[in-house]
Structure 1
Amino acid sequence: MRLRHRDGTVVHLAYCANVHPADDFPGILDRLHRYAIPVRRRLGVPRLSVGLWLPRPVAAALAADPGALDKLRAALSEGGLEVVTLNGFPYAGFGKEVVKTDVYLPDWADPDRLAYTLDLAAVLAALLPDDVVRGSVSTLPLGWAPWWDAERQDRARRHLDELAAGLADLERRTGRTIRVGLEPEPGCVVETTADAARLLNGVDTARLGVCLDTCHLAVEFEDPGEALARLDAAGLPVVKTQASAALHASDPSAARKALETFAEPRYLHQTRAHTAEGVLRADDLPDALNDGLPAHGPWRVHFHLPLHADPPAPLSSTRTVLGAALDALLGGPAARTDHVEVETYTWTVLPGDRPDLVDGIAAELGWTRDRLLGLGLTEENA
């Protein structure tokens, strides 16, 4: 969907296709027909943005095959779909039975991560609609912190410089601007916006910036306004925003049984406790429940919740943080981002009864659209 900000900026609202991952090109086409097109129809809009996730082999094949790219572009057009952003965080295997920390491999110290991201940029440049100003790719925040050291940091920084040079060359060759946003995430090298300001100092900000995930922001107990001020002071653009909400327990002791139902084995659910001593950390929800965090003070869990619905009491959602972030980004006189992507990839591991996936995605997009309209944006129906 496209909305227009009061300053004239076209803001693209998409959903991330990692919620129904596919490992090959036919599978990606199948998911578009099975999910994306029905979501568009359910919303009653003529055009829907989809944030594709392309695993490494598919990205490489598409980047080398103009015919396959034409086929994908035609399928998108015929279905009333468009692509302005890609999720380049998971490299491959996001549909595996156990993902956990594998999602951080390869990291930015590895040249394979650079090659993958440049392939994604080339694919996106070919898929962008003719009237779209620029595209975005989100990527991991350097790597998983426990594996990091100074040598890896040096290699990663060189790769980011090579990435910026490659994106500039791509623009010279194609006339399309593609930016890459590193996505601060709990437990990673770039964990917070403060880390982003410090570790991304000096990067080419015409090409590189931040993907602001509002679930991650909430888990770290960051205030959206302060976070954006921090990024502004560092000169880091918000290349993309992932609209997401985390799990919140005001009283972890009273909510223990409810929390246990979210301790599932596929994805990593970093957990943070807000205490008088500061924010305390556990790498995964089972670790936190196994005496890894104090039970006094609220907990927040990296478990992406449906944006439009609350979890069972006594748990709640950090939807208020999401709302405050959208307000800070798009409620003022100037748009501070132009790509908003709903990224609830956890539908298949939610405890209890789950709605049909098409219904769920459509409801999330509808909630987000209504929130943006409430901030004064207007919907572009053409």
Structure 2
Amino acid sequence: MSFDARHHANEPASGKPDLTRRGFLAGAAATGALGVIGVNLFVRQGFDPGGVANASRQKRLRSQVLPAVRGQILDINGNVMARSVQRYNLTADQTAVATFKRYNEDRTEKIEVTPSQLVYEMTDILKSVDPGITDEFIKSKLDGTSKYSVIKTDVSPEIFHKIDDLGAPFIYGEAFSQRLYPNGSVGGSVVGKYNIVEEADGNGTGGTVSRNYSVGIERVFEKELAGTPGERTYEISADGVRIPVAKEEQRLAVDGKNIRLTINRDVQYFAQQVVRARAEELKAEWCTAIVMDVRDGSILALADSSTMDPGAATIEDAADMTPRAISQSVEPGSTEKMLTASALIEQGLTTPTSVYDVPATLTIDGQTFKDAFEHGAQRRTF
């Protein structure tokens, strides 16, 4: 039998291809696919509806850190030596700028607000803190394709809340704490300086790590002063705008504790004036003084002839960042003589009027000692 004969023998008498089997197979495949989809939907919606909804919600969630207010540093009388104030950076998501709705003043109905109207309202508010703000400037911060456009930095909570009350879902406020030192250099090296810096983690991943470069009381009591940050979690839509009707979760921040020192601000100020004048008089590199309450040994002043202002942008001399009375090694000198003399007199080994030969120099184990000034052999009372 030839090839042609075999071929034609398998065809129907009509000479047309057999489409019935192909149609059956296609239909079976489609039915099977629909069955798989149906089973999948049944499992997801019937047995795990919460899991699907939760997974979807997780994709919409965004978190915002609520910084804790750092505790105050006070002197012995409660005068503030260091404190923190809450500030905000105003930012916008330019890709989400559009007409939005908010309640009217009576909160009886919602009204539409156009971006142009919002520009005028924001300008009026921000002009109160920066007269140079113009409508054109605000408009330039809202126009564009950036998801992070900085409108104004370092604004007070009062100004931020006024902007927030405008209801624009694409305007955000980044909260942060600003540390203030109202007494300048008075007790500056004692109070110290708060300085937490975000730096690259060094692993090549692009991540950051916080480095603590604080000094003084600010560093010693970092844990107590810092407090615990809170967190606010909210949902955003596909276009990046926060969903106002969605559930919002908030964990409040725990503010830091206040630290009260034994330092007396007024005594500290006076002591710093005295040691500064003495250093200038003697043309000394530096001078320091410790003022102590003899009743309980508490330190009322730890004064340096030169010290830092913790609120200054830069510190010229790093040595001014720590009290020299505790950071520098000095010879105790003649102050130790009082201790030795008191012990000898108490033991009855000498009297204040006892006379001794005092040589010009004294050599012990190959080390020669002498007074700070030159003199010959003398006879002196104890």
Say whether the fold is shared (TM-score over 0.5): no
Between 1 and 2, higher relative CO (CA 8 Å, sep ≥ 6) is seen in 1
Structure number with larger C-alpha Rg? 2
Smaller-chain TM-score range?
A: under 0.3
Question: Whose strand fraction is larger, Structure 1's or Structure 2's?
Answer: 2
